[in-house]
Amino acid sequence: MSERQKVWVSQPLFDDIVARLHDHFDVVQVPEVSEHDSATIAAALRDVDGALVTLNERVGAKEIAEASKLRAVANVGVGYNNLDVAALHARGIVATNTPDVLTETTADFGFALMMAAARRVTEAERHLRAGKWQGWNFKGLLGADLHGSTLGILGMGRIGQGIARRASGFDMRVLYHNRTRLPADIERDCRAEYVDFDMLFARADHLVLVLPYSAENHHIVDAAALAKMQPTATLTNIARGGIVDETALADALANGRLASAALDVFEGEPTVNPRLLALDNIVLTPHIASGSLATRRAMVDLAVDNLIAALGAGPDAGHPPTPISTGTKDAKRPGTA
Ligand code: DGY
């Protein structure tokens, strides 16, 4: 009888779903939420055929250097900047992610954050909880409307399109910028108009970032980009922290160059830039955009399917894995998420 393949599961996920891996593999399950450094990841991968990892685990050339049996890495997440896909592909290792299943949940949350920034929801709650509310105040905590305003979306993939579709219920005009312009039927469906990068920043009343992170997109939202925005505008980031220069953002929020912002992602996660923490006109959440119970379960389910399929393990390998393919990324022409 041939030896069973072995897989590493880097974090506790949902046991009842991960249990499906036990039907096919010997599973090494990390029992508690853990921060794995590079050496720990390398040691865990040294002796396994496959791995189920989250965005907390960086897997690159160094981590796979001694992983001679490794054939598949299944990422539980649509964003995969934690994986060096080129290094994995160079070694013939399949890398997969979990698109689609989180699209609507993440779009919901992007919309929620944008509304919270525009209407100062968390700032108002802090005000109330701090006992500062002295009575109904006609001009207190005034915000900006979403209805009838212009929404800008940078990165018009599945999630960006989901946000655009939601915007029509709010009677918003939707502008977008993307690496490639969408086909006319999708633009029509999303009621979205394609504009260039500068125009997007200049025209948006509410700008949402939904583009995948790559080295080319690092700090694509810098002081120069922020300076193009209207001082009454809001900025929401549900993509990856590295897309925004947080120091430039803190400056813009502190000096009135930008009305407010909402961030679900941070450059140094889980550390948050103290200058952002000190500001009132910003909504801060701990990377939870895809975090509904149903969606987090669906992500694990798909990642488990992907790993089974990529390792060709038995009849349950019923669907093809969702492999990550890499394209050329251009800083001013963001791709899709
Ligand atoms: C993703 O899937 O990329 C999210 O950021 C993780 O929830």
Ligand 1 atom 3: the closest Cα is on which residue?
79
Does residue 63 carry a catalytic annotation? no
315 Cα to the center of ligand 1, angstroms = 29
Q: Which atom of ligand 1 is nearest to the CA of 54?
A: 6
**198-228 tens-digit pLDDT:** 999 999 999 999 999 999 999 999 999 999 9
pLDDT class of 314 with cuts at 50, 70, 90: low
CB 165 within 8 A of CB 189: yes
Rounded to an integer, the average pLDDT of 120-125 is: 98
288 vs 210: CA distance, rounded Å: 14
| pLDDT averaged over every residue in the chain | 94
CB 54 within 8 A of CB 10: yes
pLDDT class of 241 with cuts at 50, 70, 90: very high
Residue 332 confidence (pLDDT) above 50: no
User: Residue 321 is which amino acid?
Assistant: P
Does residue 119 carry a catalytic annotation? no
Query: Roughly what angle, to the nearest 10 degrees, separates helices 103-118 and 293-310?
Result: 140
More confident call, 186 vs 315: 186
Does residue 287 carry a catalytic annotation? yes
Q: Which pLDDT score is estimated for 3?
A: 86
User: Residue 123 is which amino acid?
Assistant: E
Residue 330 forms beta bridges with which residues?
333
Q: Which atom of ligand 1 is nearest to the CA of 290?
A: 7
In sequence order, which residues have a C-beta less than 8 Å from that of residue 327 and are 6 or more positions away? Answer: 179, 335
104 Cα to the center of ligand 1, angstroms = 13
Q: What percent of the chain has pLDDT over 70?
A: 93
102 Cα to the center of ligand 1, angstroms = 8
130 Cα to the center of ligand 1, angstroms = 33
Given the residues 119, 240, 246, 267, the one annotated as active site: 240
pLDDT class of 326 with cuts at 50, 70, 90: low
* Residue 154 burial (CB count, 10 A): 27
163 phi and psi, to 5 degrees?
A: -65, -40
Domains of the chain: residue spans and CATH: 6-101+293-310 (3.40.50.720), 103-284 (3.40.50.720)
CB-side exposure of 215: number of CA atoms within 13 Å?
A: 6
pLDDT class of 147 with cuts at 50, 70, 90: very high
Does residue 77 have its Cβ closer than 6 Å to ligand 1? yes
Q: Which two tokens stand for residue 332?
A: 């001013």
User: Residue 218 is which amino acid?
Assistant: H
Rounded to an integer, the average pLDDT of 277-298 is: 98
Largest CA distance in the chain: 77
